[in-house]
Chain A
């Protein structure tokens, strides 16, 4: 089949970007979406044009490297699927697809479809861990963990840190990502000693990184390749209020209160070129 691709091309973080149109042919249904882009890139190298830059690695939906918007939808719209696992059999001959990077102030574009997601690491640094010096742990079965707690912790820990939740959110909020880590660790007995500090610090770090606030749209849950549920945001807010109460901290900034949208308003854009293949 043949496809028309409008791809965001931006040489580096400081240069303006623009959409460039490419025609790709000989696409077969057995290809994955990234294999289709591989074929485009081979073609571009053959024509001595710079290949399209995108992050990817494991190509089995677990490393969280890949991700961009296809026709405005993070990871392309197939339920619980990263873009590397998206098969070309879900597209039709003659379709036009627009590919652009995650759009969020906290995720600056590095090149083309590649963005900088270091803000997520800094949220984890603020408290997304259980302090356990290597070698100091008691026997693994010394503390019983109810199966329900272990299962919920796992559901939350399944997050791959791809950033789709941020890209899908009208406010570019990182609430789903942050709440997934808070829920994972706060659900376990081992996570209790640092629960309050963790919740307060991670929420503060999230705000400092320039992510927006949650207004309960639920777009994040809809695109999450690991189906992290919206419910975890509620859990985090509950833990946050509880932590603030324990600490008697004033004033409390609850992140679900609307502040300002944190999307880039508009990328600087030049006239789109059309490049035939």
Chain B
């Protein structure tokens, strides 16, 4: 039997995607290795960090399909990082283990459904029956408090450093889910709480933390729950692994979790 190559995996990803491939993407490209590499196993993950790379190699997987970057900047511009010895260490390890890295980001978000949302809603226990419309990512749940909701999310994710803004005692029902850095603005009057991964605190397109603080001053219900970028989008890489497995039966495919990078001090 002819060995499965990374190029063949990518071409099956493209043909199963259900939408045209956009070659203009700088994100969804090979970050290490190339199409000719023979694939023994596929690991999906969130960030292609060194820990995940090592664990994938240990598990006998030499193709990594991450959602995010490998070299600590979105464009994976190695000229920024190649002066740091860590870059060489990571690349040498991948070379020794005959690894290949192909990122899937832009096309994952364009695919329907977008697995990042499917995975996060599943992990947060936001049942589809509460979603106002398919793909709205808006859930109207039985009334709870912002504090209880944030605690519930943190427990379900096994997280340590979830952050929230707003009055913990505020009664909330209407939740808008965002993923990664695609955090919806909190000023939608139909929304009580935004839960998402990451957003710059101020000086951006819309600064939700200050808006929520002012809402609290005025007695208006608003809440903001930041899970962290990694754990918000990592969940959907499980769905991504299952989907890739469906058209690459020759090799094992699994999610390798990078987990939450943070802890919080006492």
Report if A and B associate in a common complex: no
> Measuring CB to CB, which residues of chain B are less than 8 angstroms from any residue of chain A?
none
